[in-house]
Structure 1
Amino acid sequence: MDLTAARVFAAATHAIANASTTYQALAVGAILILLSRVFLGGKENGLIAHMPFWVPIEVAAVSYCVAGGGIMGRIFSLFRRNSGSLYGFSSAHQVLFDFKDVDKVLTKHAKSLDNFPPGLTLVMRVFGLESGGRSKKELESIYVRFQSIAAKLYLFVEKIFVGERSSEAAVAGADIPGRVVDLVTFSTKKEDQKMWEWSAAVKPLTPGVAAEVTLNKLVRDFGACAVIPMLHGQDLLDHHPTFLEDFWKFDTDVFPMLIVGIPSWAPIKALREGIAARDRCSAALTDVYRRVDLWAKGLPTGNRHEPSAIVKQRYEQYESVDMPLWARGTADLSLLWGQNANSQVLLFWFVAYLYSTPDLVKELREEIKEFVAVDTASNPPRIASIDIRSLSSQCPLLKSSLFETFRMSSEATSIRYVKEDITVEEGGRTYRLKAGSWMSAPHGVTQHDEKYYPDPHRFVPDRFLVTDPETGKRVPRYGRLNPWGSGPRMCKGRTLAEKEILVIAAAIMSLWDIEPVGEQWKIPKMRPGTGVDCPTEDMRVVLRRRTVFE
């Protein structure tokens, strides 16, 4: 990057940091797009097909402006291809906006549309693989090693997370029923609290009965504490008690800036602190592999548990290509981020919508009571057993409510690198996507369109229930909703994430009442996240142990 470009980026960074409206931010984004193409172009970095940072900016700009209509929508229509669904400032990147056959395109051309370069770009640019002043030669060597083991590296993860039975076993192993009884311990001392309480500002109201908490942080961290050990074992959190705090700081403050190309040296305090938090997370995961290496050699590790099955399998693959320890930690941070960044925030929205919608929790408790057995004789009441499969297959209103939460808060986007020329057809039109270009499909652009969803800004629990023509029963269906992406390379963790969210929500509803602080519910406004929108402010509620079991 030459000096002129560096000054431009510094000025743009300052503008982004001080932008007070969406239009200001989009204006800066447009400037960044144009300037980056002037100064940096869209060239690949040797063996590494880096995703240009203007790709996500263009996706966001097209999604917001075209979906919003008005003057900005008309301006962006100038970049529309033949009045169809393809948009782009140039042939270097095509945005498939509300493209009817996007799943067909991604499936038919799966071999030509590569998701590895976008993923590796995240690992290198956002998760820090290219930080630390490493040479181009060293980075290309790391790239080649990752590429050679990528399929095997994620094979075992997919075996556990993708299948119905394996994902059920993983969720069962998280002991969510055993954890949820202590969702709040009613202690003000950190040493007596559970890790998920630390960020929730717990304020006991009635000892052992009720407490005021920050719901978004409590539920988010509860979910993370339940699922992180599935990947990397409980020892990760035990040895690194600030891991969650660092992880969310990185995700909230730094991820969006790095993905759009804000340089790590930019004079932004939040960026500097967030990168430090990211590096501590990477170091913690590097420590996991250091201890696994000791375990493999029969030496003391200082761990209380044996390494997780996933970590052992990934360790073998890393060893097979002599991957440096630091690179293992960085790569695994991307895996852990994929497991938690969106699903735990969505879990909060799910719980918030369930409890704030009049009479919904009452209906859902009736629906799930056959599958969640509560021992009311225990003090406090506990969950004796939970039927994970039936919560997903036999509770249509619960599942429809989850789909509605996806619609309200998720913004999934599929991004692919075009390896070979392909043609895309739409309504009699034919478009050519050239090799070396990029293609993206923002799936959330119609989720608030009243043409598809009447009263789109209201949470409607049964919106996704349809009548099965064979059985006559009401069943949940995604319809045109694509919260997990599209095509054969859609989110591999969707089965596990869905079961985790349903089980945690059902467990909370079975043991806890939640009330607003004050007379009325106040759901926080949303701001764009990295796949799921984030709350703009904390949501304080009163959490109370359930005492009446009908």
Structure 2
Amino acid sequence: MEVVGDALVFLRTLKTKYGLGAVSVRVFGYTHNIILDPTLAKRAFEHPPASFDPTSITWTILHRVFGAPAASQHQYISVFRRMCALLTKYFLKRQYAAEIIARTATNMAEILPQLIQVPGHGDCANTATQLPPLVRRSFSRATLQALTGKTFLDAHPTLLDDLWTLDESFAELALGVPSWLPIPKLRRASAARTRLTHALEHFITLEQDAQDPTASDAIRSLNELWRSENIPIPARTAILTSIFWAMQPNSTNAAFWMLLRILSTDNLAERIRSETAPFIHPTPTSTSSININISTNTHDLPNSCPLLRACFHETLRLHHGPWSTRRTRSAITLHTDKETYLIPCNEYIHVPHGLEYTSETHFQDAKTFNPDRFLRPEARTESLHFFGAGSSMCKGYAYAEASILVFVACALHTWDIKPAHGQWKLPRAKSTGGVERAVEDVDVSVTVRRL
């Protein structure tokens, strides 16, 4: 995973220079088939679900990365589909997703104005900070608090940092590298996972005993399912950790890149403020802060603010390289007009959706940030698969999109953000197999907006 970015360049070369539709590599005793041709990828996803093992990959990650006990595998598999149904219900279905998006928006309206402390009444002094941690402290807190409630996060202030520490070693843990090896970041990840486990044991107890009324209905429903099926607490904490992790690094990184791209593009921030004004209503306070009043229909933001949404799509196009992965349960055959590929049972299929995102064949000036390209009538985003495809598509993609759009709109209405050193400069980034992670700070000067 450390070289995913270089891998995409290499795979793109194989496809364009040699015309290969797929390549196979053998790693740790397993054959991995990487699909390069979009037609082949479509054929793969058209195979019936019975052709693939729906749980082997998710269980492996749950066990190796998040610490689920090996003895819980059968119980996990027995409730897997019902868990997916619950996640789909609360994060995709409009009437339920609207509730959690509203909780998130309320959190953002409370958290963002408090993060920049400006001394004195009416004073407009600047606060020097770095943009990546500013986004983490605001976006990450608001989204996770929407699920867990405020009481739990206040009691466990290191939880967000622990999720990020665990994420830094995700690839190594997923590959089965023992966490006890004397590798500093693996040791840090192991310690973070232990703290997360203890914190979530406390959370499950609070929720189970109805001591935390601020927890979301989604979490309550999951816990009721686990309790009814006698899922042990260690397995529950591992599943919750995986859900919280899934909400954090990718979405937070996307929020950072989107905000930075908007700020560094001439006049784009003002265009976004104008477009989102019907939803975000900042009002001045008696001090140098502001109150953010958010419309009750923020779940409609993606459909009502096409420019904001176009910025989201363009950000993911440039900074996201998602892969879809399946493990075959039976042999499958993939055809194009020129080639036929046979993929035997118990092999992996990988589709790197980001292969074409920065290709001049598909996008004019492909490496230029230009959200207006997605405002054209002929623009299509369905084939870009930002959140995976088929049965492995992220169950929380609608919530992720809405929460990022709400955050960026709130941030632009709350703060004036300028580069600390004269001009905007994009930081170096590290490819992760998801949304890129900035590996350099972006120094900024932040002022609460004067209305």
TM score, norm. by length of structure 1: 0.75
Q: How does 1:143-292 map to 2 (within 5 A)?
A: 143-174=73-104, 175=106, 176-186=108-118, 209-252=125-168, 254-292=169-207
Q: Distance in 1 between matches of 2:216 and 2:274?
A: 37
Correspondence for 2:419: 516
Q: Residue 384 of structure 2: SS of its match in structure 1?
A: coil
Confirm or deny: 8 A CA contact 2:314 2:369 kept in the other structure: yes
Correspondence for 1:309: 217
Q: Distance in 2 between matches of 1:117 and 1:497?
A: 25
Q: Distance in 2 between matches of 1:177 and 1:536?
A: 28
Confirm or deny: 8 A CA contact 1:449 1:456 kept in the other structure: yes
Query: Offset of 1:436 from its aligned partner?
Result: 1.1
Query: Offset of 1:250 from its aligned partner?
Result: 1.4
Correspondence for 1:384: 293
Correspondence for 1:124: 63
Render the CA deviation track for 1:6-25: whole Å, top value 9, x for unaligned: xxxxxxxxxxxxxxxx9xx7
Change (3 A) 1:314 1:371: closer
Q: Distance in 1 between matches of 2:269 and 2:276?
A: 10
Q: Distance in 2 between matches of 1:129 and 1:208?
A: 50
TM score, norm. by length of structure 2: 0.90
Render the CA deviation track for 1:290-319: whole Å, top value 9, x for unaligned: 233444xxxxx5x5x354322322222222
Per chain length, whose mean CA-contact separation is higher, i.e. which structure has more relative contact order (CA < 8 Å, sep 6+)?
2
Q: Of 85, 88, 109, which residue of structure 1 is paired with 2:21? A: 85
Change (3 A) 1:153 1:494: same
Residue type matched to 2:255 in 1? Answer: L
Query: Offset of 1:434 from its aligned partner?
Result: 1.3
Query: Offset of 1:543 from its aligned partner?
Result: 0.9
Alignment gaps of 5+ in structure 2? none
Correspondence for 1:97: 36
Query: Offset of 1:377 from its aligned partner?
Result: 7.0
Confirm or deny: 8 A CA contact 2:179 2:186 kept in the other structure: yes
Q: Distance in 1 between matches of 2:262 and 2:42?
A: 31
Tell me how many residue pairs correspond in the alignment.
Answer: 443
Residue type matched to 1:282 in 2? Answer: T
Q: Of 375, 381, 390, which residue of structure 1 is paired with 2:283? A: 375
Change (3 A) 1:384 1:318: closer
Query: Offset of 1:255 from its aligned partner?
Result: 1.1
Identity %: 27
1:106 matched to 2:45? The reply is yes
Q: Distance in 1 between matches of 2:299 and 2:191?
A: 41
Confirm or deny: 8 A CA contact 2:327 2:348 kept in the other structure: yes
Change (3 A) 1:248 1:320: same
Residue type matched to 1:118 in 2? Answer: I
Q: How does 1:426-465 map to 2 (within 5 A)?
A: 426-465=336-375
Structure with greater Cα Rg: 1
Q: Distance in 1 between matches of 2:200 and 2:377?
A: 47
Change (3 A) 1:411 1:547: same
Render the CA deviation track for 1:412-434: whole Å, top value 9, x for unaligned: 10011101222111224222221
Q: Distance in 2 between matches of 1:114 and 1:235?
A: 39
Q: How does 1:531-542 map to 2 (within 5 A)?
A: 531-542=434-445
Alignment gaps of 5+ in structure 1? 1-21, 27-58, 131-138, 188-203, 296-300, 469-475
Residue type matched to 1:538 in 2? Answer: D
Q: Cα RMSD between the aligned structures?
A: 2.6
Q: Residue 357 of structure 2: SS of its match in structure 1?
A: coil
Q: Residue 282 of structure 2: SS of its match in structure 1?
A: strand
Residue type matched to 1:243 in 2? Answer: L
